[in-house]
Structure 1
């Protein structure tokens, strides 16, 4: 049944090309479609969640100021993912294998995030799925899609190092084991880092928007023979279609930010943070720009490192390195206002994204 549905959607998508004026129109429409869906459906979804009392579960050891957020609806990621999915279905070519890889991984991670959020709500605690179970399901999903990509790839797979200042590009050919290992840690690491960062109102969604915009530029460069040659990128045929996903994320993110900005009326939950983290990671892997992507994700990586340092320090001598981890909670306990922390993290994220784009020139 699922196979028939996919074939029907693919046929519908292919024949819609008759109505398309050009690729630029599709890009604009993908952004507007996802924005409109998120912006106008979110109030209804918020009311529904309030009626069903599906609200955020605040961890007991968290900052005291967060206790007031205990009744704010969660699982807003459902609207985000729905808007992205609908926009991509309508405005992209579903016969494009890169679209399939990205959407497929996003859906699988959405299921994991949904189960995690569901467990938190029915068990009335902030734990949800145990870290080991979550990692297990993420690992199975990630390994499956990476192996699928590698097997179906007809050309050699490279990773590309770009060394700033010296303008050096180093390409390294990967076998299955290296490709699997490298891609696995990027997808698992970034998706969970995004999940850890999602602790303040609007903190995650704006960096996701910045990164998605940058990835859309890199997709364009990678899919254009002229630009890829001049920038010494790896040329990848038909990869430009991924720009539609990138701009759909931007549109849905902007619509969601309207309600998620401080003071938030809705949270995205694990279903949103895990899915968004995995799909931007997947796009970076498909365009072979993993190292630039890691620079862009500096804020997420820093948040994850703060948690690792905190755990290791506490296990070593029962003392804390930070007042609280992740890092944004540390600054909260130092008395910095939440909106101030959010905006400063946004600024840092923007600087890292701009830096990653500057060094390719």
Structure 2
């Protein structure tokens, strides 16, 4: 919005020329989103407390978690507001990819909001059924995937990390593949959101990594030098990922141990979907497995636990997702969170190295 309004005036006011630089808008999108989240968080927490929208804690987990019962949830509304508003302020609103990531975020945010609303306002313990939730997510992801597939300039080839001459073309199969990436990322982040600050930390790290990926993917010179697909206009979504980083930092101030607010499904589902959509647009879909390695580990631990229990009647982990397993083994919650953050940072650095090592 600011870019579209102010940059055209740079011929009369030379200082407005700064808006043409993507790096400038990336930085200020992050700062703006942080300030929005940081300033509005105390007000939102008070409102959530007044509405008695408190978290219900599982009684079969670590007993110390029972003290968290009643902590305000649905704080993800704050993250979504900060991300969307900051993106609208600093991104080029004529860019179709910007609107696509915003639609993905709002669409999955709506699914998460309805789920949280049913659980905490209507007191329906499990919210949406699994079938309802997945159907809604697939519908939104299908729209995104079909839109990208319909673009004449968009390729259905995959960019495989560490390989420069291996780019399989999925053809029409790219649509279900993209749906899998977006919906999978959404639910993986949702499963990770179980400890104070656990999910938001890797989200920030992944957002930072994809800010770099989107920037170089949308830059013809850099993409040619690095031998990665050039996607015209994709660089603009770096403003969006920077806004995710900033909003997440602002939210983390209040979500760090002991948390004053939880994000709920209204935060975790759209954040995961946003990362998945960015990965698809930037043609670095498979890289998300590495960048979001912590989310992958958490999701796989749940899948293996369920399969093992149903097939053998035995559990692999003391409790799933795996972060609860470590808690049951005696690790303190902050130690579990920080160690998983460390893993997320290392995986993000490794993922960025693939831009050159191929």
TM value normalised by structure 2: 0.93
8 Å Cα contact 2:191-2:321 kept in structure 1? yes
CA-based RMSD: 1.5
Give the CA deviation at 1:126: 4.7
Stretch deviating more after TM superposition (101-110 or 154-163) = 154-163
Partner residue of 1:172 out of 168, 171, 194: 168
Query: In structure 1, how many angstroms separate the alpha carbons of the residues matched to 2:100 and 2:243?
Result: 16
1:121 lines up with 2:116 in the alignment:
no
8 Å Cα contact 1:142-1:187 kept in structure 2? yes
Q: Match for residue 12 of structure 2?
A: none
For residues 55 and 153 of structure 1, do their structure 2 counterparts lie closer, same or farther at Cα, with a shift above 3 Å needed?
farther
Give the CA deviation at 1:127: 1.8
Partner residue of 1:241 out of 230, 236, 240: 236
Query: In structure 2, how many angstroms separate the alpha carbons of the residues matched to 1:306 and 1:49?
Result: 32
What SS class does the counterpart of residue 168 from structure 2 fall into?
A: strand
Partner residue of 1:354 out of 346, 349, 353: 349
Query: In structure 2, how many angstroms separate the alpha carbons of the residues matched to 1:125 and 1:326?
Result: 23
8 Å Cα contact 1:169-1:232 kept in structure 2? no
Query: In structure 1, how many angstroms separate the alpha carbons of the residues matched to 2:151 and 2:352?
Result: 30
**How many aligned positions are there?**
347
For residues 181 and 226 of structure 1, do their structure 2 counterparts lie closer, same or farther at Cα, with a shift above 3 Å needed?
same
Q: Match for residue 269 of structure 1?
A: 264
What SS class does the counterpart of residue 237 from structure 1 fall into?
A: coil
Instruction: Return structure 1 stretches of 4+ with deviation > 4 angstroms.
Output: none
Query: In structure 1, how many angstroms separate the alpha carbons of the residues matched to 2:124 and 2:328?
Result: 22
Give the CA deviation at 1:219: 1.1
Give deviations 1:288-309, integer Å, cap 9, x for gaps.
0112221111111111111111
8 Å Cα contact 1:324-1:333 kept in structure 2? yes
Q: Match for residue 286 of structure 2?
A: 291
Q: Match for residue 4 of structure 1?
A: none
Give the CA deviation at 1:198: 0.2
Query: In structure 1, how many angstroms separate the alpha carbons of the residues matched to 2:316 and 2:169?
Result: 40
Q: Match for residue 160 of structure 1?
A: 159
Q: Match for residue 31 of structure 1?
A: 30
What SS class does the counterpart of residue 348 from structure 2 fall into?
A: helix
Stretch deviating more after TM superposition (343-352 or 60-69) = 60-69
For residues 327 and 101 of structure 1, do their structure 2 counterparts lie closer, same or farther at Cα, with a shift above 3 Å needed?
same
1:75 lines up with 2:74 in the alignment:
yes
8 Å Cα contact 2:164-2:227 kept in structure 1? no
8 Å Cα contact 1:212-1:250 kept in structure 2? yes
1:21-170 correspondence runs (5 A): 21-22=18-19, 23=21, 24-124=23-123, 126-163=125-162, 168-170=164-166
Partner residue of 1:209 out of 204, 210, 214: 204
Query: In structure 2, how many angstroms separate the alpha carbons of the residues matched to 1:122 and 1:226?
Result: 52
For residues 291 and 155 of structure 1, do their structure 2 counterparts lie closer, same or farther at Cα, with a shift above 3 Å needed?
closer
Give the CA deviation at 1:129: 1.1
What SS class does the counterpart of residue 159 from structure 1 fall into?
A: coil
What SS class does the counterpart of residue 289 from structure 1 fall into?
A: coil
Unaligned runs of 5+ in 1: 1-8
Give the CA deviation at 1:13: 5.7
What SS class does the counterpart of residue 127 from structure 1 fall into?
A: coil
Query: In structure 2, how many angstroms separate the alpha carbons of the residues matched to 1:25 and 1:168?
Result: 31
8 Å Cα contact 2:148-2:154 kept in structure 1? no
Give the CA deviation at 1:61: 2.6
Q: Match for residue 310 of structure 2?
A: 315
Unaligned runs of 5+ in 2: 9-15
Give deviations 1:9-54, integer Å, cap 9, x for gaps.
7xx7622333452323222221111000000100011011111111
Give the CA deviation at 1:155: 4.0
1:197 lines up with 2:192 in the alignment:
yes
8 Å Cα contact 2:301-2:321 kept in structure 1? yes
Give deviations 1:325-360, integer Å, cap 9, x for gaps.
000011111110000000000000101000011132
8 Å Cα contact 2:214-2:237 kept in structure 1? yes
Query: In structure 2, how many angstroms separate the alpha carbons of the residues matched to 1:187 and 1:256?
Result: 23
